[in-house]
Structure 1
Amino acid sequence: MKLNLQEIPRVRDIAKETFVRDYLKPQRPVVLEGFIEDWPAYRKWSLDYMKEKAGHKTVPLYDDRPVNHKEGFNEPHAKMKLAAYVDLLKREPTRYRIFLWNILKEIPELREDFGYPDIGMRFMKGLPMLFFGGRDSYTFMHYDTDLANILHFHFEGRKQCILFSQSQNRYMYKVPHSTIAREDIDFYDPDLEKWPALKKAKGYVTELNHGDVLFMPEGYWHYMRYITPGFSMSLRSITRNPKFFGKALYNLLIMRHFDVLMRKMKGQSWIDHKNEQAVIRTHKRNGIKV
C-alpha cells in the first residue's frame, strides 16, 4: 500500500457515552466489533439468505466503467434477478455491484432482523441501504452528497475500506461539480508519479469482516473494495456541521442538476473538461508542476 494510511482503531463493547465522546463528536472513524451480535441479522444474513428472501427481485447493477454523458445520473449498467446475481458472485469474480438498495422498500420483512442503535446518532430510518459486490469489485473514491454520518454494517466475506476526511480535499483530485475523485486513479495501488498530490494525503484503512461496523464521519471520502463476495448495510444520520449541511443542500438542490444539464448540453466534452480540471486545480493548489 503506497498511500499514507493508518489503521482505523477497533473497539469492542463500547458504551454510548464513550462513542459520542471519542468518535462522534471529534469525528474520528472507528470499527465496532461485536456490536450487532444480538441482531437476528448477525446470525441469519448471508448471500444465500438474501437469495432465499429476495431472489425473485430484479436488481440494478453497476460496474467500474467511467462516467459517460450518454448514461443518466446513477443509471444501472445492467439488471438481473437477485438469485442469478448471487450465483454469479459465488461462481466467479465480477465487477457488478448493487448499491443504495433500500431494503425497507424491497424486502420489508428484513426490518425485523436489525435495529437502530442507541449510540448518539439520529438515523434517517427510511433509508437503510444495502450494497453488494463480487471479488475485486470496488467503488470509486467519493464522498456522499449529503455528507451524512454513516454506520456501515458488513455481512459475509471481507471488504477493504480506505477513508479520507474532508480536510484532505486538496489532495484528492476531486472532479469539479461532483463528489468523486478522478475515476482512473487506482486507490488500491495508485501511481504516485502520475498523481503526486496523493503523496501528501493522510487517510485511514481497515478490513471489515462479518458483523463488523464501520463508523464513517461526516463527508468522509471512501473507497470500498470487496476482497471476497459479500454485502453491507448503511444507516445514515444527518450532518451536524452547519457548513456541511449547507454543502449537502447545495449538492442535492443545485450541483447535481447543473451537472446533468451540462452533460446534456455539452456531452462528453463536459466530462472530459471536468477530469482535466481535477488535475489542473489539484496541482495548482499544491504547487505541483508536471
Structure 2
Amino acid sequence: MDILSDILKKSEQIPIVRNLNTTTFKKDYLNRNKPVVIKGMAENWPAKKKWSIDFFYDLESNKPVPLEVGNIFQNESKFLKKDFKLYLNTLKKSEYNVEKDKTYLSMFNIFDQFPDLKKDTDFSIFTKYTKLNNTYAWIGPSGTISGLHWDSVNNMLAQLKGKKLVLLASPKFQKEMYISKKFDLGSTFSQVDINNFDENLFPKFRDVKFYQYILEPGDVLFIPVGWWHYVKSLDVSISVNNFGYLPKDMLTTNIIEHLLLRLHSRGLYRKNYCTCHTIVNGKRVSKF
C-alpha cells in the first residue's frame, strides 16, 4: 500500500528562510540540529544557470557510471553501468519511460570527473564550519526515490533543475522507523517502504510526525545529522549536495566509517546485505 499521499495530508511544512548568513545559520540551525529550507540560496550559482542534461552531454567525458535501479534502500540492491552520455540521452527521452524501477545516477563524484565545475557551487555558509566535505551530484528522471534514511553527518542539498519532494522526520522517531541492518556507508535505513507499506509489520510507523517541502530550482535544504528523510524526484532532476564533517566528526564518525568500510569491503561486516554489492551468478559484485 502506498501511503505517501496520507503522509502528505498530515505533515507540516519544513521552515523556510531567505538571505541567511553564516552566523545565523550556525546559531539557529547547525548548532540546534534544526532543518531549514533556504529559499533561493542557489539562485545565482553558475550551476543553477548552466547545468542541464545538454550541458553535461557536451562535456568531454563518456566514462561508465554506476546507476541505481529503483529504491535500493528498502528493496533489492540492483544496479547497472552505462556510459555517461548514453544515460543522459536516455534522460532526454525519460518522459516516455513508464518503467517502475527508474535508473538513478546517485552520489556521482562530479568534481572528481569535472574539477572545473567546483566553482559553480557555493556551500560556504556551511563549509565555513566543516573540516571535510564530500560533494555529489544526483541526476535522474521523474520518479526516482531515495527511501527513508538518515545520514551520519550534516547535509546540504541544492536543487538545480526540476523539483523534488522531501519528507523529514525528527531523530526522536528511531523506534517507530524500524531500523534496517542493510549497510550503506554514512547512512542508516528504515525498513519501511512508504510506497509499499505493510501496517502489520510496522504498526508504530503511523505515529511518526513528518515535515514536507517541494524543492524548486535554486532552493537549498539543510538536513541535520540524524534527521530521517525521503526524497522523490517530480521531474527530470539535477541536484548537488554537500556532506560536511565538523571537527568533532573527524575524531568519531569519520574514523568509524573508514573502519566499517574496510571491514565490509573484505566481507567481514554485513557482507551480502548492502547497497554497494549484489550477487551475480554466485559471485559478490561491487556497484563500482
Structure number with higher strand proportion: 2
Deviation at residue 228 of structure 1 after TM alignment: 0.9
TM-score, scaled to structure 1:
0.76
* Structure 2 residue matching 1:174: 3-state secondary structure: coil
Which residue of the partner structure matches residue 77 of structure 1? 79
CA distance in 2, matches of 1:215, 1:197: 27
Contact kept? 2:130, 2:246, Cα under 8 Å: no
How much does 1:236 deviate? Answer: 2.0
The one-letter code matched in structure 2 to 1:163 is: L
Distance 1:67 1:161 in 2: 16
Deviation at 1:262, TM superposition (A): 5.5
What residue number does 1:143 align with?
A: 150
Does structure 2 retain, via aligned residues, the 8 Å contact 1:63–1:96? yes
How far apart are 1:210 and its partner, in Å?
0.9
- Corresponding residue for 1:45? 51
Instruction: Provide the C-alpha distance between the structure 1 equivalents of 2:216 and 2:119, rounded to a whole number of angstroms.
Output: 22
**Residue 211 to residue 106, structure 1, CA distance change in 2 (3 Å):** same
Query: Where do 5+ consecutive residues of structure 2 fail to align?
Result: 274-288
Equivalent residues, number: 256
In structure 2, what residue type is equivalent to 1:96? T
2:181 alignment partner in structure 1: 176
Who is 1:229 aligned against? 236
Note if 1:2 corresponds to 2:11. no
Q: Which residue of 1 aligns with 2:276?
A: none
Supply the distance in 2 between the matched residues of 1:45 and 1:153 (Cα, whole angstroms). Answer: 12
Matched, 1:154 2:163: no
Letter in 2 for 1:138: I
Moved more, 150-159 or 251-260: 251-260
Q: Which residue of 1 aligns with 2:277?
A: none
Structure-to-structure mapping, 1:115-130, within 5 angstroms = 115-119=122-126, 121-123=128-130, 127-130=134-137
> Which stretch of structure 1 is more off in the superposition, 20-29 or 244-253?
244-253
Instruction: Report if the CA contact (8 A) 2:165-2:213 is conserved.
Output: yes
Rounded to whole Å, the distance in 2 between the matches of 1:250 and 1:108 is 28
Q: 1:263 to 1:191 in 2, by over 3 A?
A: closer
Shift of 1:176: 3.0
SS where residue 28 of structure 2 aligns? helix
Cα deviation code 1:221-244 (max 9, x no counterpart): 2211111111211112215777x9
Residues 1:210 and 1:54: Cα distance change in structure 2 (over 3 Å): farther
State the Cα RMSD in Å: 3.1
Q: CA deviation at 1:129?
A: 0.8
Tell me if 1:112 matches 2:116. Answer: no
Q: Percent identity?
A: 26
CA 21–126 in structure 1, closer or farther in 2 if over 3 Å, else same:
closer
The separation in 2 between residues aligned to 1:54 and 1:169, in whole angstroms, is 45
Q: Structure 1's 262 and 112: CA in aligned 2 closer, same or farther, altered over 3 A?
A: closer
Matched, 1:195 2:202: yes
Q: 2:141: which partner in 1?
A: 134
Secondary structure of the corresponding residue to residue 139 of structure 1: strand
Give the corresponding residue for 1:86: 88
- SS class of match (1:53): coil
Amino acid at match of 1:209: E
Rounded to whole Å, the distance in 2 between the matches of 1:43 and 1:100 is 21
Unaligned runs of 5+ in 1: 269-290
What TM-score do you get using the length of structure 2 for normalisation?
Answer: 0.77
1:210 aligns with 2:217: yes
- Conserved 8 A contact 1:55-1:84: no
**Secondary structure at the residue paired with 1:128?**
strand
* C-alpha separation in 1, matches of 2:58 and 2:105: 17
Larger mean CA deviation between 255-264 and 156-165 belongs to 255-264
